[in-house]
Chain A
């Protein structure tokens, strides 16, 4: 079902967008032997009393549940490889999901096509400000759609040239912080 970490990220972003977030931060950090994946938003947050349930995969099978599958699947993926996943949320303030996975664990899902997943979602979400931060123990690389928009004015992020810029930038960033993998 979940082929790669890019799919987990797409799922978390879908949750944030559905929670009507206006700011979404995506972090991918190599910390020592771990990969830390983080998505934080300023959306509606998870209602009081429901935070304990959102990681239960059966909870999401209820009709019209407002929680996506992203969380329980990510928790399962992280725990299967000896990592962990934490969810913090304040109703009306937003949600932060952080998962730690051992980079070298043989069963860790591959990163997958992060560029091909992140860029279309970012570009096709007008009105939402994204910050992407990639880092390792030596370097941090950032991309902010606010900074991009300041320079392109009314040109949409889905304009072919802007899209190409975003893809190339993200690929460059991934290369700089050791997020390229041969798997």
Chain B
């Protein structure tokens, strides 16, 4: 792999963005503090990125954050949408993949593992 390969990736990604006409639709945030990592957050983050990548989801952004103060609920995954924020707790790899497919893609939050759901008013 060479750094020059990235130029082609950039051109393709920018063309996709123009086609889509805007920024990401969904942001997924994984808690990667020490308690999250000890509870399996790295596998969760990897599963989410793998699912996003395999499904070629170009309008989903994935980031990580530190401790959220909910150690007992780790690993924690947040799904940010324009009108709501959903916080999932005790997420394992299988649940992480379901969050991507059922929630990020189809817009239907899981019924299990939800710690909190907040409406966002703009």
Interface positions of A (Cβ within 8 A of B): 1, 7, 10-11, 14-15, 17-18, 68-70, 116-117, 120-121, 123-126, 147-148, 151-156, 158-165, 168-169, 172
Task: Give Cα A165–Cα B9 distance, bound, in whole angstroms.
Answer: 9
Task: Give Cα A161–Cα B6 distance, bound, in whole angstroms.
Answer: 9
Query: A10–B1 contact, CB under 8 A?
Result: no
Is the interface on chain B under 10, 10 to 19, 20 to 34, or 35 or more residues? 20 to 34
Query: B53–A160 contact, CB under 8 A?
Result: yes
Query: A125–B37 contact, CB under 8 A?
Result: no
The interface residues of chain A lying within 8 Å CB-to-CB of B46 are: 116-117, 120
Interface hub of B5, B6, B10, B62 (most chain A Cβ within 10 A) = B6
| A14 → B minimal CB distance (Å) | 5
Interface positions of B (Cβ within 8 A of A): 1, 3-7, 9-10, 12-14, 30, 32-34, 36-38, 42, 45-46, 49, 52-53, 56-58, 61-64, 66-67
Q: Can you give 18 contacting A-B residue pairs, CB < 8 Å?
A: A10-B37, A11-B34, A14-B66, A69-B34, A116-B46, A121-B45, A124-B30, A124-B63, A125-B63, A148-B3, A151-B3, A151-B10, A154-B14, A159-B9, A160-B53, A161-B9, A161-B12, A168-B1
With A7-B42, A124-B63, A155-B13 known as contacts, the answer to whether A164 contacts B34 (CB < 8 A) is: no
